[in-house]
Structures are given as structure tokens and as C-alpha cells.
Amino acid sequence: MKNLYLFDFDGVIVDSIDLYEHSIRTCLETINRPIIQTREDFLDLFEENFYEAIDKKGVPLETFLRASASIISSLDYSQVRAFQEMKPVLERFSDTHFLVVITSNRSEMVEKTLRREHLDSLFIDILGADFMLSKTAKIAYAMNRWDKSPAETYYIGDTAGDIREAKSAGVHTVAVTWGWHQEARLTGAGAEYVVRTPEDLLLL
């Protein structure tokens, strides 16, 4: 039986924290809401759903989204690379399961990067911020579209917010430690599984 594996993109599949943080800082500065001063300020925004977090800090969400659509499309993602150890793991998974990207990034950027890294054929869909803002809602959509139950669905993320949103959807939660949040943060969010190397994902 094929399970449904839902992968976060930034921090799980690709090493992109510097560019992603730069893009968020630029968006916030463009709309005169410079709420990020340090790397820790940036990471704190991912303790929950990113868009809910910035909304709580008084950032006008529609204004931010308009700015980000322009800024993100102008970023040079050509320097962003996939974690090399993830490539064979994703290839193995795609042979026997359904793979989908669920991300706070824009689908266009994800698609371009996956194509450049020769990983695009491994995923059956990309559900980005231009589709829905809530990862919980995107997880529910994916389960419905591919007729999978929570017991057949795994969300793989690297932030506490990923884990909390996946738990809200009722699916298996898998935290990876090579991404943005440290292990203590991930276990504190209630991750069901913690994996420390990409190969460990094959043991799920």
C-alpha cells in the first residue's frame, strides 16, 4: 500500500535558510514592518504557522503577501541546493509512495529548484503559499485528493510550527534535525518521530 509523504521544502529538502531569511526581512522592511532583528527573531516566527505569527505581530497579511510575491520571484534561487543525502532517499520513497511538497514558500520557486536539482519528477504535487496559507488545511486537502487516512499520511518538517500544524491535521509527525529548529524545539512541539539523518527516514 502506498502511503502519502508530505515534505516541507526549505530546511528539509534544500538548504535555503540564508536566502529565505533575507527574503522575509526584505518583505517586512519594504512594508515598514521590520520585526526581525536577529536570526532567532526569524526562527521564532516558525513556532507556529508563519503567516499567523506575523499577523499576530501586527503585519498586514495582504500587504505582506503582495510584497513577497514580487520579492521572492526576483530572488536568485540558483545558489540553493538540495541536501545531497536527501536525493537517494526521495528516489526510494517515490518508488513506493506518493510524495507531495507542502511549504510556506511559493510553488513557483519550489518547482524551479526541484527541476534544477532533478527532483521534480519525484513529487506528484507542490502546495505552496499561493495555494493555501495553512499547512493544516493543505495536509487535509492532500489526504482528501489522494484518498489517504491520517494513519497513511506522514508530514516531514524541520520547525515546531510544522509539527504543530501536522498534529492538528492528525497525521504522523516527523521532525528532521538538519533544518531550522533544534531538536529540543521539535520534541517540545510533540513530534512523533525525530530523525537525525535523511537515511533514517527510510526506517519509518
Q: Kind of pairing, strands 98-102 and 4-7?
A: parallel
Q: Is the distance from CB of 31 to CB of 65 less than 8 angstroms? A: no
Per-residue pLDDT tens digits for 123-180: 999 999 999 999 999 999 999 999 999 999 999 999 999 999 999 999 999 999 999 9
Name residue 149's amino acid: S
Entry pTM: 0.95
Which parts of 57-196 fold into alpha helices (H)? 61-73, 86-96, 107-116, 135-145, 160-169, 183-188
Domain locations along the chain: 4-15+81-203, 17-77
Q: Is the distance from CB of 138 to CB of 44 less than 8 angstroms? A: no
Domain 4-15+81-203 fold: Rossmann fold (3.40.50)
- Tens place of pLDDT for every residue, the chain, 204 residues? 899 999 999 999 999 999 999 999 999 999 999 999 999 999 999 999 999 999 999 999 999 999 998 888 788 888 899 999 999 999 999 999 999 999 999 999 899 999 999 999 999 999 999 999 999 999 999 999 999 999 999 999 999 999 999 999 999 999 999 999 999 999 999 999 999 999 999 998
Q: What pLDDT does residue 38 have?
A: 96
Q: What pLDDT does residue 36 have?
A: 96
Q: What pLDDT does residue 128 have?
A: 96
